[in-house]
Chains A and B, each alone.
Chain A
Amino acid sequence: MTESTSPSFEGLDKGQVVAEREVAFTRDTLVRYAGASGDFNPIHYNDVIAQEVGLPGVIAHGMLTMGVGASVVEEWAGAGNVSDYQVRFTRPIPVPNPGEATVLIKAVIGALDEERRTARVDLTVEFDGAKVLGKAQAVVDCE
């Protein structure tokens, strides 16, 4: 017997907040993501190189922010139930050393498709009072 973790489509409402999380990015977070993903672009660990290309310093991988966003959706949707996920990277997140960058992630039902029984979850990801992702949308397969 298997137990699907897909959320039930019934009872979902547009505008409903399904998950929220505050995440602290540190240099450790970035190094860990670099190793796990294989993305070793030095702008994500070397301040000198980051400044040479016009950044204030080391910034988080856009894909780290996107990946953590997916984890927030999955916390509600269950593993393996996001069938489509897109983002635009609109602002970098500088990560100080020492210190941390606090990122606020909120997942809200943006649209419901009754025929397909899918929910579009819209993510807002904020750092320092500004949105860092645009058009961040995940499609979740529901029961």
Chain B
Amino acid sequence: MTVNLDAVGRSYGPFEPYEVTRVKIREFADAVDAWSGAHRDVAIAQAEGYEDLVAPTTFAVIIAQKAEFHVVTDPEVGVDFSMVVHADERFTHVRPLVAGDVIYTTVHIDDIKQRAGISMVTSRTELVDADGAPVSTVVSTLAVREAA
């Protein structure tokens, strides 16, 4: 299987929205050792000026990886998922995600570079809230080794 360079510029979504919940924020905060009370206690989050529990910085990966799944499973892109290694990741937040957010995503294939049997596939997932206002951008690059 070979990654198709012509896939650059493809977009997917928007998909069924992701609802950010208090339970998931607490679970994720525990998993990444995020200690702030604003991830767990609504009163603390509100005292810090947020409407509800605040998601940890990388929480958006849950939402982004659901969108990226559509890229890596598109047969016309040609990614063999068993040959994938995560190369880099970047989050840019307009504002933090909070419990109660309903998030819509679209994902775009921004770049594919091929060198020495490895394809670097860069996707950009845009997260917007129920009002259509931008919340976060998640850029992820996967290194895909080509089967010999």
Chain A residues proximal to chain B, CB less than 8 Å: 2-5, 21, 23, 29, 32-33, 35-39, 53, 62-64, 66-68, 70-71, 73-75, 78-80, 82-89, 135, 138
Contacts and interface: CB of A to CB of B under 8 A. Distances in A.
A37 B57 contact: no
Interface in B66-92: 66, 82-83, 85-92
23 contacts: A29-B31, A35-B27, A36-B31, A36-B32, A37-B28, A37-B62, A63-B58, A64-B32, A66-B89, A67-B31, A71-B33, A71-B57, A79-B48, A79-B54, A79-B56, A80-B48, A80-B54, A83-B92, A84-B91, A85-B57, A85-B58, A86-B89, A135-B88
Q: Which of A23, A71, A80, A87 is the most central at the interface, judged by chain B CB atoms within 10 Å of its CB?
A: A80
A38 B60 CA distance: 12
A70 B54 CA distance: 14
Contacts of B87: 88-89
Nearest to B81: A41
Contacts of A21: 33
B57 A38 contact: no
Contacts of B36: 5, 74-75, 78-79
Contacts of A35: 27, 31
A142 to B, nearest CB: 15
Contacts of A23: 33
Contacts of B30: 32, 36
Contacts of A71: 32-35, 56-57
B88 A89 contact: yes
Interface residues of B, number: 39
Contacts of B33: 21, 23, 68, 71
Given A67-B32, A79-B39, A83-B93, A73 B57 contact: yes
Nearest to A21: B33
Contact of A38 (B45, B66, B91): B66
B61 interface: yes
A73 B61 CA distance: 17
B57 A70 contact: yes
